[in-house]
Structures are given as structure tokens and as C-alpha cells.
Amino acid sequence: MADYKRLERTLIARGAIIDYYQDTMQIPNGNVAKWDLIDHKGAAAVVAVRGDGKLIMVRQYRNALERETLEIPAGGLNGREEPTIEAAARELEEETGYVSDDLELLNSIYTTVAFCNEKIDIYLARNLRPGSQHLDEDEFLNAEAWSLEDLTQMIFAGEIQDSKTICGILTYAMKYAQED
């Protein structure tokens, strides 16, 4: 592996969920380059499967895309130290109104490795029980139940484009759907 050396890291802007840095890097040929870094505290997501096999999805507006998306429930960690399984359970109830004591790590992804360190641990939640949905003040979403078949068709048709959702659903389909 070639040698890379960070010479300096400069905070450019601090945001509500991310911090933006510019790194000054010495690269293997000896040149110096400026690289952007988006620092994210991490997140958790949940593939929530009801007893009837339907997956609980959330439909919400996403400002970056200027449209609504259909996604698995997810949210940021309350701090880098928060266990992702606790964040997954919290987001499941907050966004869908379901609770589960049966959460299992399904997969972990880094969303955009070229310039962002956001890591999302994706959990499988089964044995769902009704809880109470309690959305954040600025959160407006609808929880919906979908069949795995419909969701995979939507992925392959390009209708679902969110990376955590694609990864979570397809991992679940390949690893577990045959058992359910």
C-alpha cells in the first residue's frame, strides 16, 4: 500500500449532522493534494419484518433529492458512543410505531467512501409489537407495509435508489427471506 500522510485537517463548516473538513494530504508521488471530508457520527437502520412477512417502510420528503422517497426506517446516532442497536430500536419505534426485542445486525455500510465516513449499521427486526410512533418536530413521514417481492421489483426498476434501503432489503432477501 502506498504511503499517504495527512499534513493538516481544517474545519470548514460545522453542521447539525455533519462537519465539513478539508485535508491537506501528501500522496505517494510526493505531491500535496486537498481532499474534502464529510465527518458523520454514524447511523442505524432497520429492516422491520412483520409476522405476515411484510416490511415496514417509511415514505418521507428528502431535501437533497427534492422529492419523497421510500426507505427503511433509519436515523443518526445521538452520539458516537451510542450503540447502533439502541439507535435502531429507537428509530424503529419513533418512525413506525413498532417495537422489537429481536434485533440482529444484518449488514454495515459506508455510504460514500470517496469523501464521507458515514457508517450505517443495518439491523433486522422481527417479532414486531405495536408501540407508539413519535416523530421528531421536523419529521413528517408515513409508515407503510410492503411485500418483499414488490420492494425488490422497485429496486430493480430504479424506483428505490436509497443505498441503505437497497442494501438492507437485498441482504435480507438473500440471507433470510427463504426462512420466513
Q: pLDDT by residue for the chain (180 residues), tens digit each?
A: 679 999 999 999 999 889 999 999 999 999 999 999 999 999 999 999 999 999 999 999 998 989 999 999 999 999 889 999 999 999 999 999 999 999 999 999 999 999 999 999 999 999 999 887 777 777 788 899 999 999 999 999 999 999 999 999 999 999 976 655
Give the whole-angstrom CA distance, residue 80 versus residue 172.
Answer: 26
Residues 32 and 45 in one domain: no
Three-state secondary-structure class, residue 21:
strand
Residues 35 and 45 in one domain: no
The answer to the question of residue 170 being in a domain is yes
Residues 51 and 125 in one domain: yes
Residues 85 and 154 in one domain: yes
Give the whole-angstrom CA distance, residue 100 versus residue 79.
Answer: 22
Return the active site residues: 137
The answer to the question of residue 10 being in a domain is yes
- pTM value is 0.91
What CATH number has the domain bearing residue 51? 3.90.79.10
Domain count, the chain: 2
The answer to the question of residue 113 being in a domain is no
The answer to the question of residue 149 being in a domain is yes
The answer to the question of residue 180 being in a domain is no
C-alpha cell at 112: 460514500
Residues 28 and 96 in one domain: no
Residues 27 and 79 in one domain: no
Give the whole-angstrom CA distance, residue 4 versus residue 94.
Answer: 42
Span between the terminal Cα atoms of the chain, in Å: 44
Residues 34 and 85 in one domain: no
Determine the structural domain holding residue 157 and report its residue range. Answer: 41-108+118-175
Give the whole-angstrom CA distance, residue 106 versus residue 147.
Answer: 19
